[in-house]
Structure 1
Amino acid sequence: MKRSLVPMTALLAIALFFGPGSTFAAHPASVWIAPLSDELTLDAARAAGAVPIDRLPDRVLVADDASAASLARAGFPATGPIRIPDGGEVYLARAKGEAGIQAALAEQIGERVPVAVLWAEGKNAILWTEGTLPEWSGPVFGKRLREAPLREPMVDPRRAPGKALATVFPPEIQQMVDQVDSASYMQWIGNLAGSNEVVVAGQPHTFATRYTRAAECDTAERYVYEQFEAMGYDSVEYDPYSFSGTSARNVIATLPGTTTPNRIYILCGHLDGTSQNPYVTAPAANDNASGTAAVLLAAEILKNYAFRSTIKFIAFTGEEQGLIGSSHYAAEAAANGDSILGVVNCDMIAWYQSSYRLIIEGEDPWDWLMQIMNDAAHTYTPLLTRLDYYSWGSDHAPFQDEGFPAFLAIEKEWDLYPCYHKVCDTTEMNKGNFGADVTRACLATIAYLAEPDVATGVAGGVSGAPARLLLFGNEPNPFNPSTTIRFELPAGGAAELAVFDVSGRLVRKLLDGKAAAGRHEVVWDGTDASGGPVPSGVYFCRVNSDGESKTGKMLLLR
């Protein structure tokens, strides 16, 4: 088809996953685009001397004559130069389903926005507009053209490219994986998707939406922040950014490494969601409370262990507007010289129709990282897996663009999910067994990468006794009328388990005496020391043993 600028006489509303634009640095005057294949890879383009500025899953883009000539010499059938008008904004777009890009764009005609198609072929297009492109939950995903070249892949210096042998997981990881249960996982989804009442800033709250542009997303960010704090993380922070008049925050909890804290591994998922009426109702249970639930449950479990390298647990926002939160974080991490050696991104991991299969989506340079996840899935779960070697459309992609190893974990049948970006994406649509299995695989992968440090406190030892005091929280939570508190002692001896109210007043002692080493479960029936029922509200359970203390937050709703 004709490759020059094609003004759309019927103003085309490209309903993409990104919102109204903001001011950007000047984009290139021209680009060349070439297909990628098993032989014509991104690495081959770099080896030929080209400097890629961006990519689609099956295309690479360059923006200078020398790079275009390098592609031609290496046998890439490049198209270009594709001239880009001055000003405005440039987007890369790709059809999600089986339809080509032309049909997908036509399906998304809505609000009238003047758009020009600079180039289109197969599922891909390059778009330009002087205006702004509205969000829409349709069959096209898009992102803004990058302003800087793609960074070359970073490789973990401990690991050679490729992988000949199956991953051998340390025995401590089995104990961590065993603590993942579907009830706790579904509880996190329900808390985020509005099925359960939660407490935020000391006040009861039930989420109706987590849409990034809605004020309630601020409340969701604070909820995750407070949950990380309640787990006992000393380093919890907001990562603020803004776009198109909207201020938003990523939420980060850090578990520092004991010996190589400069090596960073990230477990992440996007907190935000969308629907047909996102400002009012967007429960976004599968997309993506399911992924955030995996991050929160893993953070809750791994807080009780030590690792040689640092683990960051991140809930991103702005994903549904075009990966804005993760792009902000990844770009700043690259600019700061952070050594991020592995990113595990969870997005839509709690639904299946007929295939109990997980897609592990990454890129060739980090096959070794994808294989570890593949081995974790097969070692600890009944999940089937499929490895896809291209990346697009979720929060792992910005990390890959900055050269950081990353992959996406996503349910195989995500495109069949009947409530995708709809108000019916509620907790009840999710399948806890599948989501818990994906969480187990992701937890095992991140724990393996960060390396359990047995010498400084990872669970181990004889007969399942941990190396230090562990508190696993209470289930159910919220609860009415009773809840079970689980903890483990590293050795037999004096132990105390007590309940306190928000003012620090002792409500009731549940255990005060000698206890054996190992796991314990104690039921609190929601009564005080005199046997009377206590009112609804936030309470804290605290276990003390051998000079150590752990505290957890509980919510009683009568």
Structure 2
Amino acid sequence: MQIDQKSVIRYHGNRMFVYFSLVTFLYSFNPITASHPTLGQEKLVKIVSKIELETLLNLGISQIADYDKNIFAKVNQQDIEKLDELQLNYTVLDSLCTGEYYFAWLTEAESALGLDKVIFVNQDFFIIRVSTPAELNRLLQERVELRKINFTPSVYNRAKIALPPVVYDPTIQAIVDRVSADSVFGLVRRLVSFQTRYSTTDSARACANYIKEKLEGYGLDSVYWQEFSPTYAPNVIGIKRGQIYPESIYTVICGHFDCTSGSPYTFAPGADDNGSGASSVLEAARVMQDYNFNYSIRFIAFCGEEQGLIGSNYYASQARNRGDSIIGVINVDMVAYSLPNRDSASIIGKPENPNCAPLVDYFIACADTYTQLKTQRQIIDRPRSDHASFNQYGYPAIHCRENLNVNNPHYHTIGDTIGGGFNSLDFCTEVIKASVATVASLAQPISIGITEEKMNKANFLVIPNPTYRIGQFRLPKTNEKIKIKIYDIAGKIKIVFDVLENTERFDIDLSRLNSGVYFVELIMAKIRYKNKIVIR
């Protein structure tokens, strides 16, 4: 069954309308004005037509978000006067409100919290006011997906992501081929053995320590806990530094390790949700440990996802405050349950602000190139997992999960065990391979599959390396003609030339090439050699 993209987007439009509405008026909450709704109260408005967004920004109207040809903004009386002056088409939707809020997807919110706690409902989408930790814990025992509404304005980003075409690279294939079903199974089994990984338990903190030790064992350059709350276990972050761009330009593969069930403090196995995603992060670090990349990679296991994306929101906000440049985020969440003829992975990305469709297409191209995974392209707003935290701060991030048309009956129950909620190791392994291929391709592996021994035997060197303008090529002595090709990192041929027989060295002017990493291929009748050159 194929999902009707237009109907999905319209349906989620209702959801996002309410989300942006609530965030907007909560952000401006003042307990004094709240008790006097007619005095100095700010309003939430809906403004029709996207083409007016830049106009509103120039007017200085705060807390702007756009969705489905509508703009949502927090305005005061002066802002309303500006809108009237420009004769913009707007509707006042709501006033200020108190409380701590979540938007949620569940079937019986009224029975979970009581009708007075539900302030909006549209089919399975709710906005819920939660007053105490006990109420939140009670809600989390339902089959619910939560996103806590934080009060930080969304980052405006309408730029289209520019990604190179996916070109087959044998080094990436070698990395992907290292992904092992046995290794994945062992990781999931160990995570399940903690009995519960509910975010506020000691077991969750013990699991965070296990993940940290595993990442350290894979030889990453830096591994640390990121504490974000005295209540929750920490995020775990591992960094593999790029050889050319070692600092704040990087790719992320992430998956939360916390879980919940009807008995979250005693038994919440969370094999599919989200032992499968956390294992994806660990397996990716394992198979990439012997390779170097141009760009850095961050392997992140988040906590607090079940409580409303708490850990990932903290990380993404800190990344934005630091000015980090994130190439792309691959969020893996629930990738181990499938049914016959429903065994494709849904690759989900926002249609705009930011436009994540190019990253979705890039993932699918990598899956097609390096794996047997079947995929579904889903360009929809579905902010139900950690990718949404990155989207809020303007970063391209996508969600890889099991088929959206498949409902895992063990979701958020004690039945989410290996053999229950986690019923397809083969499917999970293939998803991990596709995720690894995508992250490796974005990070750009330096080696392209030719061993150092073979290059030394061929005596094929480029001196100096790195170089600036002139490169000296030293070649194997042979009576054959030799062809030299120089490729950029996207696989495009930049220079081609022939070398006469018995030529052992020659100089070539490389000044026409921009700074960066290039690959040099030496072609003879029966053998090819490859090397890398860095141009400053």
In the alignment, what sits opposite 2:409? Answer: 418
**Structure 2 counterparts to residues 41-440 of structure 1, below 5 A:** 45=53, 49=57, 52=63, 61-65=72-76, 79-85=91-97, 87-91=98-102, 93-95=103-105, 104-106=108-110, 109-110=111-112, 114-115=116-117, 117=119, 119-121=120-122, 123-128=124-129, 130-131=131-132, 133-134=135-136, 135-138=139-142, 140-153=144-157, 161=161, 167-194=166-193, 207-242=194-229, 246-261=231-246, 262-354=248-340, 355-364=342-351, 365-382=355-372, 383-413=374-404, 416-429=407-420, 430=422, 431-440=424-433
Which secondary structure does the structure 2 equivalent of 1:63 belong to? strand
Q: Matched residues in 2 for 1:466 and 1:324: separation?
A: 51
Q: Read off the aligned partner of 1:444 and give its amino acid letter.
A: A
For 1:274 and 1:266, locate their aligned partners in 2 and report how far apart those are by CA, in whole Å.
25
Map residues 481-492 of structure 1 onto 2, 5 A cutoff. Answer: none
Q: Aligned partners of 1:453 and 1:287: how far apart in 2? A: 34
Question: 5+ residue gaps in structure 1?
Answer: 1-23, 97-102, 195-206, 468-558
Q: Is the aligned partner of 1:450 residue 2:443?
A: yes
Distance (whole Å) between structure 2 residues aligned to residue 220 and residue 77 of structure 1: 52
Deviation at 1:89, TM superposition (A): 2.1
Q: Deviations over 1:267-321 (max 9, x none)?
A: 0000101111011101100000001111101100111100111100000000000
Contact 1:362 1:388 in 2 (8 A): yes
Aligned to 1:497: none
> Over residues 48-69 of structure 1, what are the superposed CA-to-partner deviations in whole Å (9 max), with x where a residue is unaligned?
6475556889986422258889
Q: Which amino acid aligns with 2:283?
A: L
Where do 5+ consecutive residues of structure 2 fail to align? 1-25, 31-40, 458-536
CA distance in 1 between counterparts of 2:152 and 2:397 reads 19
Residue-by-residue CA offset, 1:149-188 (whole Å, 9 max, x unaligned): 1002386xxxx6477x852242311111111122221111
Q: Bigger CA drift: 362-371 or 26-35? A: 26-35
Paired-residue identity, %: 29
Q: How much does 1:398 deviate?
A: 0.5
8 Å contact 2:197–2:257 — kept in the other structure? yes
TM-score, normalization: structure 1? 0.65
Q: Mean Cα displacement is larger for which, 26-35 or 349-358?
A: 26-35
**Do the aligned partners of residues 461 and 130 (structure 1) sit closer, same or farther apart at CA in structure 2, a change above 3 Å counting?**
closer
For the 8 Å contact 2:28–2:42, the answer to whether it is kept is no
Which AA in structure 2 matches 1:288? N
Which SS does the other structure have where 1:416 is aligned? coil
Q: Is the 8 A contact 2:261 2:414 kept in 1?
A: yes
AA partner of residue 184 (structure 1):
S
Task: Mark the structure with the bigger radius of gyration.
Answer: 2
User: In the alignment, is the contact (CA less than 8 A) between 2:222 and 2:239 conserved in 1?
Assistant: yes
SS at match of 1:251: strand
Matching residue's letter, 2:74? A
Measured in 1, the distance between the counterparts of 2:456 and 2:394 equals: 38
- 1:374 and 1:446, CA in 2 relative to 1: closer, same or farther beyond 3 A? same
Shift of 1:462: 8.5
RMSD over aligned CA atoms reads 3.5
SS in 2 for 1:294: helix
Which deviates more, 377-386 or 362-371? 377-386
Secondary structure, in 3 states, of the residue corresponding to 1:241?
coil
- The answer on whether the counterparts of 2:232 and 2:304 sit within 8 Å (CA) in structure 1 is no
Q: Secondary structure at the match of 1:110?
A: helix
**Number of residue pairs matched?**
407
What TM-score does the superposition give when structure 2 sets the normalisation length? 0.68
Q: Which amino acid in structure 2 is aligned with residue 317 of structure 1?
A: C
Change (3 A) 1:46 1:246: farther
> Per residue, is there more helix in 1 or in 2?
2
1:442 to partner: Cα distance: 0.6
